[in-house]
Amino acid sequence: MSADRPARISRRTALAELGAVLAAGCGRVEFMAANVPATFGAYRRHPNISYSADPQHRLDVYVPDQASTGPRPLVVFWHGGRWKFGDKADYRFVGAALAELGYVAVLPNYRHYPSVKMAGFMDDAARAGEWAAAHAGEFGADASRLYLMGHSAGAHMAALVSLDPRYFAAAGRPGPPIAGVIGLSGPYDFLPLLEPDVQDMFGPPQNYPDSQPINFVRPDAPPMLLVHGLMDETVRPKNSRNLAAALRACGVPVTLKLYPKVAHGDTVAALSLPARRRAPTLTDIEAFIGQPRSS
């Protein structure tokens, strides 16, 4: 496997240009700009490692440069995109931010609708999680400190694969121990399904309840950090509120962070250097996971 190193260009110039582009809110260009300062991070990126057979079954691993006296926490992050689009390459800033905290970050791609429905992309989530746990030691990470994380559709996948044991069982094992789940702006309790594409990807109708992470809450669920912006009009904050209440009712430790004046994409954008002031996402992640453990 190969590792790439950040290119040497003017950090000051890149940050100035990035700030202007982010302020303009230019969609795909905004993703590209968010990743410019991430190329300067103190980490090694191991790109496009295969975790299963499909061409979409590729992941990137981010390993901090700084020395550690013990194994690091391991964080698997799934991107959003309505289960229909998105790419790990768009979220290099997430891998860089997690590496900045001293964590090993794994960013998988997964198959999208309509090439697969829920069973397909959830199987991909389980396979990526299994791969991360099995290969943690190769990157200086601690498989017993495995955290599953995602934004939007990715947060749904992280929560559901953690709560519904059938997906890891289908991947061939009961599943790795999960130290915690981090959901950014995630849909967890979103019935009824109104849009035709969402009805199809989670259908037939008798299967709709299986798409809802809240339906699989149990007392032995992993601790969760649920982050949501109160101005989110894409995934309503009630999703995080309701899941947090269900977890608490079962005695599961949960931290609910509701950010005022924060919209759907801001919770993840705040992991990029020029948007850190949008929301305290990175600070809350660090408080939830903690520092790398010394040996």
Of 40 and 52, more confident: 52
pLDDT score of 30: 67
Q: What percent of the chain has pLDDT over 90?
A: 80
Output the pLDDT for position 27: 53
Mind listing the pLDDT tens digit for each residue in 116-136?
A: 999 999 999 999 999 999 999
Query: What pLDDT score was predicted for residue 274?
Result: 87
Return the DSSP state at 137.
Answer: G
**Cα-flanking dihedrals φ and ψ of residue 236, to 5°?**
-65, 145
pLDDT at 21 over 70: no
Instruction: Give the tens place of pLDDT for each residue, 248-257.
Output: 999 999 999 9
Domains along the chain?
A: 41-289 (3.40.50.1820)
CA angle, corner 43, sides to 69 and 148, nearest 5?
Answer: 80
Q: What 8-state DSSP symbol labels residue 81?
A: S
Mean pLDDT of 227-255: 98
For 25: left if phi > 0, alpha if psi spans -120 to 50, otherwise beta; the answer is left
- Pick from 179, 235, 231, 239: nearest CA to 215: 239
Token pair in block for residue 51: 């975790």
Q: In whole numbers, what is the pLDDT of the chain averaged over residues? A: 90
User: pLDDT-based confidence at 4, cuts 50/70/90?
Assistant: low
| Amino acid, single-letter form, for residue 12 | R
Q: Are strands 58-64 and 104-108 parallel, antiparallel or unpaired?
A: antiparallel
Helix ranges, the chain (H) = 11-24, 28-34, 92-100, 118-134, 153-163, 166-170, 196-202, 238-249, 266-269, 281-289
Q: What is the model's pLDDT at position 19?
A: 39
Between CA 240 and CA 229 the distance in angstroms is: 10
Read out DSSP for 87-101? -GGGGHHHHHHHHHT
Residues 6+ apart with CB under 8 A from 242: 188, 189, 214
- Report how far residue 178's alpha carbon sits from residue 50's, in angstroms, rounded to the nearest whole number: 22
Q: pLDDT digit string (tens) for 181-219?
A: 999 999 999 999 999 999 999 999 999 999 999 999 999
Give the model's pLDDT for residue 34. 79
What does the pLDDT average to over 16-27?
A: 38
Provide φ and ψ at 212, rounded to 5°: -100, 110
Q: CB of 140 within 8 A of CB of 71?
A: yes
pLDDT of residue 32: 65
Q: Which residue has the higher pLDDT, 5 or 90?
A: 90
In the predicted structure, residue 82 carries a pLDDT above the cut 80? yes
Rounded average pLDDT over 37-43: 81
Please name the helix (run of DSSP H) or strand (run of DSSP E) that holds residue 254, with its range, or none.
Answer: strand 254-259
Q: Are 128 and 108 in contact (CB under 8 A)?
A: yes
Q: Kindly state the tokens that stand for 177.
A: 């121990």
Assign 167 a pLDDT band (cuts: 50, 70, 90): very high
- Give dist(CA 21, CA 43) in Å, integer: 25
pLDDT at position 2, please? 46
User: Model-level pTM?
Assistant: 0.89
Per the CB < 8 A criterion, the answer to whether 102 and 66 are in contact is yes
